[in-house]
Amino acid sequence: MRGWLNRAINAIDREAWVQFLLAIVGLALAFAAALLSTASREAGNLLAMAILASSALLLAGAVGVLTVPYLARRVAVERVKEALNYEVTKEGAVYLAFCLIIAVAALNTGNNLLFLVVSAMLGAIIVSGVASAMVLRSLEAQLELPMHVFAGQDYAAMLTVRNRRRFLPAFSVTVVPPPERRSVEVKWTWKRSAFVFPRETPERKPWVRWPDYSLSRIRTVKEVSDVFRDRVYFPYIPARHNIATEIDLRFERRGRYQQKGLGVSTRFPFSFLLKTRTVQLGREVIVYPPVEPADEFFEILPMITGEFESYVRGRGYDLYRIRDYAPEDSARHVDWKSTAKSGSLKVREFTREDERKLRIVFDNPAPGLANGDRYEHGIALAASLAWHFAGENADLGFAASSLAAGSDIFEFLQYLALVQPATGASVLDSLAVTGDYNLVFTARPRGTIPTELWQSSYFVFFSE
């Protein structure tokens, strides 16, 4: 029973019902004020008539400006929803104020000329709304995005607006982000509480404390990650023409960015209303982590390169050459026959085997094991090193949880773009020990790492 009641309460759009009831109350008060104004005029009380008539107009205007657009945006019919998505500009507010003043004067004096002026002014508002609706309904917008995008870099995208009308051009059009930038979820739930009487204080203990339930409201706001966040103005779009312009894009964080629509707005022709129509548009961009080299990148890269080359060079079986001994060479590679003949230390250098390659392993930690800044820094470092070795034409492999075998560099970057701390088995526990050299990013304690990985791996601990 309680679950059904919770679902019923959650299904109610409380804000819309509150706005609707306020509109009904406002219109009822305006109607009552208009009736009392008529009665005051018949009684000869001109001051009361003027006050009541002005109050009726003010109430009706407030309902029309504040409540009706909010309720109209919730209409299921898309055309009506788009046509009524508007805002009153400063110029429009001043214009409506003059309309109200002249209307009050017309009611108080009964001058027909003032009624004609008010009718013309209201007609101008209607003409403005119809003209702007005709302009917006004929427009289409497209957004072309780059294929690969990295965080922290500037990119150019192409925004195209097309006027489908055969004869009528479009004036003063602005492409903006969708009007609703946030997703709001409201849930009602029952929570355990206690009925206490009287209220407990340090000096007084309650007489009664009974178990109870309370109905609480949980309101969560989710920011929408839009691709397009600027405003682009087009003063004139000819009929049956496309106008394209480049826009600058920059994403500061990795992740998934979605563009579900674009707003096309105009103030044409009189700037009384700012009307916006939402054009449906499905675009998605996966923003890879930044690959710009940081200070730690230049500190780690020489050590990784040296250990990797040393490991690979000594793992082959075919002799490549015999050369002079270097301090970093292992003693087990000394060629004693050549040393005896030449009188100086000589070492054997073997060819690299084709199956030996560098494998980059990302061991995703559980929540709480790595703090946010250090976790993001580890992801950026892994992406930077992977991008560097891919540019050096190294034979790369990748390993991570939920990452398919044989993935390429862009699949690995996409994994890093969307990964979040998660519980589950560590990729190190199931990592096969092969001839590959591993570059491991992990937050696990050193004592829990398998022993066989230490000889063929370089570890980056991004939890420290």
Where does the pLDDT of residue 355 fall: very low under 50, low under 70, confident under 90, or very high at 90 and above?
very low
Give the model confidence (pLDDT) of 224-279 as tens digits: 566 777 788 998 899 888 888 888 888 888 888 887 778 888 888 888 888 888 88
Paired with 187 in beta bridges are 218
d(CA 371, CA 378) in angstroms, rounded, equals: 11
- How many CA atoms are closer than 13 Å to the CA of 298, on its beta-carbon side? 4
| Per-residue tokens: 256 | 């998934």
Q: Is residue 42's pLDDT more than 60?
A: yes
pLDDT tens for 281-315 read 777 888 999 888 766 665 666 666 655 555 555 44
Burial class (CB in 10 A: 0-12, 13-18, 19+), 161: buried
In order of their start, the domains of the chain are 2-137 (no CATH), 139-288 (2.60.40.10), 295-316+356-461 (no CATH), 317-351 (no CATH)
pTM above 0.85, yes or no: no
Report CA-CA distances (Å) from 60 to 22, 71, 116: 12, 15, 20
Based on the number of CB atoms within 10 Å of its own CB, is 462 exposed (0-12), middle (13-18) or buried (19 or more)? buried
Q: Got the DSSP string for 357-421?
A: -EEEEE-PPPTTSS-HHHHHHHHHHHHHHHHHHHHTT--EEEEETT--TT--HHHHHHHHHH---
Q: How confident is the model at residue 463 (pLDDT cuts 50, 70, 90)?
A: low
Q: What pLDDT shows up at residue 3?
A: 58
The better pLDDT of the pair 453, 415 is held by: 415
pLDDT for position 77: 44
Beta strands in 166-241 (DSSP E): 170-176, 182-197, 208-223, 232-237
Compute the average pLDDT of residues 436-463. 76
Q: Which band of pLDDT confidence, cut at 50, 70 and 90, is reported for residue 433?
A: low
pLDDT in tens, 153-204: 888 888 889 998 888 888 888 888 876 554 555 666 767 777 777 777 777 7
Spatial separation of the C-alpha atoms in residues 371 and 462, rounded to whole Å: 9
Mean pLDDT of the chain: 77
For the ranges 67-71, 119-123, 295-299, the one whose mean pLDDT is highest = 119-123
Mean pLDDT score, 98-122 = 84
The predicted pLDDT at position 83 comes to 43
What's phi and psi for 42, nearest 5 deg?
-65, -30
